């Protein structure tokens, strides 16, 4: 039998309701709604779509939104000045700088300039370090969303063999930390991996985030595994595809995410949850 699809849109909707309820509780107690500042540099089509989606979701959930659109020619100093202003603004709970940035801007410096308490993307070394120490605070949104998806299908984590394909700073590495935190036994594969099929053979949980369409063949999936495909690319025919050879993998997996409609909605949902949590941390109402 084909594996069951994990509906990222449905799980994201549950997170949205949780956030909406949290905001309503805040406002009923006289506290302000959370507020998110989004910074977009340039006019990259994909970045424009992502930022618009985030801003629209803020509006739907009742999260305040400050929208800052800067030209691609903006200097690093000018961008950092905007971040400094937002760091100092008590009305702003979260700051998001849409990546990637133009080549003349140092992404690491930009990420580290955002105050850790307003780092709702969860990329600041302080927040990644807290995750490593098993005391997570603001967590990287995509890996955090993957954990929510896995929980939605009853994943138990403890002692389960998990394989992460890809070791990027924003997905692969924090994904491994999230799975370790949840109790899984984790292997991370990357561009120097010699035999990916061999490494995947025992993977009961497989998270693929390499950005290479069709990298993981369906025949490599362990029967009964849960497969999360983070990758998204456009094929020569214009179709959105993931890093996993979907149909053959679905014939072996117990659960699998589609592309699109799997991980993507969760990244935005967890950004909204992080923004609410940042507001709660600021005023001491976090549980």
- Could you give the residue numbers annotated as active site? 54, 98, 121
Q: In what order do the strands lie in the sheet with 161-165?
A: 4-5, 255-256, 226-229, 205-208, 161-165, 185-189
Contact 12, 268 (CB under 8 A): yes
Its sign, for the CA torsion 171, 172, 173, 175, is positive
**How far apart, in whole angstroms, are the C-alpha atoms of residue 222 and residue 167?**
21
Q: In what order do the strands lie in the sheet with 94-97?
A: 64-70, 35-41, 94-97
The Cα–Cα gap between 127 and 274 comes to: 12
Half-sphere exposure (Cβ direction) of 234: Cα atoms closer than 13 Å: 3
């Amino acid at each position: 039998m084909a594996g069951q699809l994990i509906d990222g849109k449905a799980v994201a909707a549950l997170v949205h309701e949780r956030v909406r309820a949290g905001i309503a509780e805040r406002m009923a107690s006289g506290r302000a709604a959370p507020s998110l500042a989004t910074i977009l540099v340039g006019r990259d089509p994909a970045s424009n779509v992502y930022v618009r989606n985030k801003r629209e979701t803020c509006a739907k959930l009742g999260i305040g939104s400050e929208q800052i659109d800067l030209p691609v020619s903006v200097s690093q100093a000018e961008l950092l000045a905007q971040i400094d202003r937002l760091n100092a603004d008590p009305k702003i709970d979260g700051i998001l700088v849409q990546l990637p940035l133009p080549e003349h801007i140092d992404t690491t410096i930009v990420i580290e300039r955002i105050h850790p308490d307003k780092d709702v993307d969860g990329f600041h070394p302080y927040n990644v370090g807290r995750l490593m120490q098993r005391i997570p605070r603001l967590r990287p949104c995509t890996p955090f969303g993957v954990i929510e998806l896995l929980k939605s299908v009853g994943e138990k984590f403890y002692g389960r063999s998990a394989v992460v394909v890809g070791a990027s700073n924003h997905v692969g590495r924090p994904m491994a930390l999230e799975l370790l935190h949840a109790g899984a036994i984790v292997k991370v594969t990357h561009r120097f991996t010699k035999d990916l099929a061999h490494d995947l053979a025992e993977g009961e949980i497989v998270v693929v985030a390499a950005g290479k369409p069709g990298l993981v063949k369906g025949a490599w999936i362990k029967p009964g595994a849960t497969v999360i495909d983070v990758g998204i690319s456009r094929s020569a025919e214009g179709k959105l595809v993931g890093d996993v050879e979907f149909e053959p993998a679905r014939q072996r997996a117990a659960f699998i995410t589609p592309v699109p409609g799997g991980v993507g909605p969760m990244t935005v949902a967890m950004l909204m949850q992080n923004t609410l949590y940042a507001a709660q941390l600021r005023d001491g109402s976090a549980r």
